[in-house]
Structure 1
Amino acid sequence: MAVLLAGCDSGATGASPSAAPPAGVSVSLAQWRSDEPAHALQVAVRNTGETPVRFADVQLVTPSFATLPARRTDAVIKKTERTDLRIPYGAAVCSPRGLPEVRPATVVAHLSTGSEPPRRVVFTVPHPDPLLARLLRDECSEFLIKQAASIEFGPEWKESGKVMRGDLVVTRRGPGAVTLNDVAGTTHYIATPKERPLGVLEAGARRLEVPIELTPGRCDPHAFAEAKKAFLFPVRASIDGGEERVVIVTPPEPLQERLTAYAMRVCGLPAG
């Protein structure tokens, strides 16, 4: 169950003392597929008591991610096994020296019961939290590759029969030989490289273009209406023969529109 949140940051500020969570109220972290492109997650609230609790705002606090302002929720949580409050989370705190370990996290909320004023409550997230560990690993893996090179969709894409052909472009940013080992498809598109590995940006090279083909992975109309992750293409890459890491490469919006129109034509679906 999800609670619709207001689209603004909370005005509740200040370093007021923290109170213990109300009896029977606890939180955990989760993420739906639709949250991933928005860099958001769910604070899953459990209330086993009979007293409704009003969450005025919610905030994730951990050294592993940049702390964003509290998100206003104004959500009244009655007795429930799980009610989700959607909040954005900040960028991962990464290091060029390697992947960091996930740090402890808390969920800070201003909440109240009955007619009492809101009070600041800190919920401890069990450590290590598997969701935060995965998000940190994925984001910092991408960070490490991007220190050496950017990986982007090239500007020229041509439709050939039922196939869309174009290039991934790798552009030098820092030292090291960058190997593109593979590219995977998405929920909606199959990505087929000309060969595997796709190619190597040698240490002295500035630019590499590798050809790939895209074809529709599914043709049901519902798929195009729920295209949450249609354009998040995972590219597996490594630096100087080191550990393989994943970079999510997203085509620019004009190309996304072209790919959608192309896929609908190939699938025989009406435009719009």
Structure 2
Amino acid sequence: MTVSLHAVSALASPDMRRRILLAAGAAVILAGGVLLVVNRDTATEQPVKEQPVTMRVALTQSRVDEVRRTVAIAMNNDGPAPITVEQAELQAPSFTGVGPIRVDAPLPAGGLRVDVPVAFGTGICAGDELAPRSAASHVAMRVRTADGRVHDVRLALPEHDPILDKLLGLDCRQDYLDRQATFSFGPWTQRPGGRVAGSVVIKRVGFTGTITLREFAGSILLQVLPAPLGARTPKPYAVLRPGTDELTIPIVVDADRCTPHVLAEIKKPYVFPTYVSLDGGEVLYTELRISDADRAAFKPVVDACAKRNVVS
């Protein structure tokens, strides 16, 4: 007679399982995590399924993560005992792999969330797709349980994880634009009063049609406006016509929006959002390229801002 281990194990009471097995002509012994079922014909040994680690994971991204090109793996321990995550890896096939990192993340029992930042690499873009979807991704971890044993855990992220979709789309749109034109700053001239004059330069790379620079904006700290009209400058700010390879827009940079709160909280001092379109198509987001020379030119502006906000 054959006894169904699955059916027996589904019963609520251990004593009831023993009585049913005995009634069927079988004996059951539970020792050392092994269930031994003996019937009239054979003796079979089957391991009890263990779940030493019960976890949930998800991805989040803060402003600091954006600057550092990282994401945070939000980990929750839903098991009955504390665990420690010793190694973590974001396995995202749509991005260049960055490999596992060593961590020391104790997770108490009860579902308390702990975030572990990890790099996500660079998006892998196919052709000119501007809204790609990320491939199925996982988080792999090495976890130590309270008894000292180490377990390899691999948990799936949601299909087309929204964070990864967003990051892949940003990288692929930027990759596409980089192959069409560049948007950067030109030479600088220091002005009195903690200002600097320069230019935004559009250079054609591969796109032969009309390139429209609809708008650019300052960072959280620095205000960037076309000269001489500033905020009254009509939009779009510039149009690079076919047959012309480069266009320059005069600008002035100042720290008029600088406040003590901004100085204390700023996470992206040199991110300058820019909006462009090609041949009148979809408006695409990019950022003005920043060089070491640009940062050096901005330093007196930032220093003047800090000096004005010193509390005496």
Residues 22, 32 of structure 1: alpha-carbon distance in 2 compared, 3 angstrom cutoff:
farther
Look up the equivalent residue of 2:224 and give its one-letter code: A
Matched residue, 2:224: 191
Report deviation, 1:222: 4.7
Tell me if structure 1 keeps the 8 A contact 2:133–2:160.
Answer: no
Matched residue, 1:122: 154
Larger RCO: Structure 1 or Structure 2 (Cα < 8 Å, ≥ 6 residues apart)?
1
Look up the equivalent residue of 1:167 and give its one-letter code: S
Match of 2:215 among 147, 159, 182: 182
Look up the equivalent residue of 2:309 and give its one-letter code: L
Tell me if structure 2 keeps the 8 A contact 1:94–1:140.
Answer: yes
SS across alignment from 1:136: helix
How high is the TM-score relative to the length of structure 2? Answer: 0.72
1:109-258 paired onto structure 2 within 5 Å: 109-159=141-191, 161=193, 163-176=195-208, 177-193=210-226, 194-216=233-255, 218-258=257-297
Write the deviation string for residues 216-260 of structure 1: whole angstroms up to 9, x where unpaired.
Answer: 254333533443211111111122222111112242234324324
Match of 2:127 among 96, 106, 109: 96
Matched residues in 2 for 1:257 and 1:222: separation?
Answer: 23
Matched residue, 2:87: 57
Residues 134, 22 of structure 1: alpha-carbon distance in 2 compared, 3 angstrom cutoff:
farther
More off after superposition, 163-172 vs 28-37: 163-172
Look up the equivalent residue of 1:54 and give its one-letter code: T
Matched residues in 1 for 2:276 and 2:215: separation?
Answer: 7
Report deviation, 1:64: 1.9
Report deviation, 1:130: 1.7
Residues 217, 30 of structure 1: alpha-carbon distance in 2 compared, 3 angstrom cutoff:
farther
Matched residue, 1:13: none
Matched residues in 2 for 1:195 and 1:86: separation?
Answer: 42
Matched residues in 2 for 1:131 and 1:196: separation?
Answer: 32
Tell me if structure 1 keeps the 8 A contact 2:194–2:304.
Answer: no
Write the deviation string for residues 187-215 of structure 1: whole angstroms up to 9, x where unpaired.
Answer: 21233234421212233222221223323
Tell me if structure 2 keeps the 8 A contact 1:111–1:118.
Answer: yes
Look up the equivalent residue of 1:186 and give its one-letter code: S
Matched residues in 2 for 1:206 and 1:122: separation?
Answer: 50
Look up the equivalent residue of 1:76 and give its one-letter code: P
Look up the equivalent residue of 2:116 and give its one-letter code: L
- Structure 1: unaligned runs, 5 residues or longer: 1-19
SS across alignment from 2:281: coil
How high is the TM-score relative to the length of structure 1? Answer: 0.82
Look up the equivalent residue of 1:196 and give its one-letter code: K
Report deviation, 1:95: 2.7
Tell me if structure 2 keeps the 8 A contact 1:21–1:122.
Answer: no
Matched residues in 2 for 1:110 and 1:216: separation?
Answer: 47
- The number of aligned residues is 252
Residues 82, 163 of structure 1: alpha-carbon distance in 2 compared, 3 angstrom cutoff:
same
Report deviation, 1:128: 2.6
RMSD (CA atoms):
2.5
Matched residue, 2:67: 37
Look up the equivalent residue of 1:101 and give its one-letter code: R
Tell me if structure 1 keeps the 8 A contact 2:212–2:236.
Answer: yes
Write the deviation string for residues 35-73 of structure 1: whole angstroms up to 9, x where unpaired.
Answer: 112111100111233322221211111222111111111
Matched residues in 2 for 1:266 and 1:27: separation?
Answer: 42
Percent identical residues = 28
Tell me if structure 2 keeps the 8 A contact 1:170–1:209.
Answer: yes
Structure whose CA Rg is larger: 2
- Structure 2: unaligned runs, 5 residues or longer: 1-49, 227-232
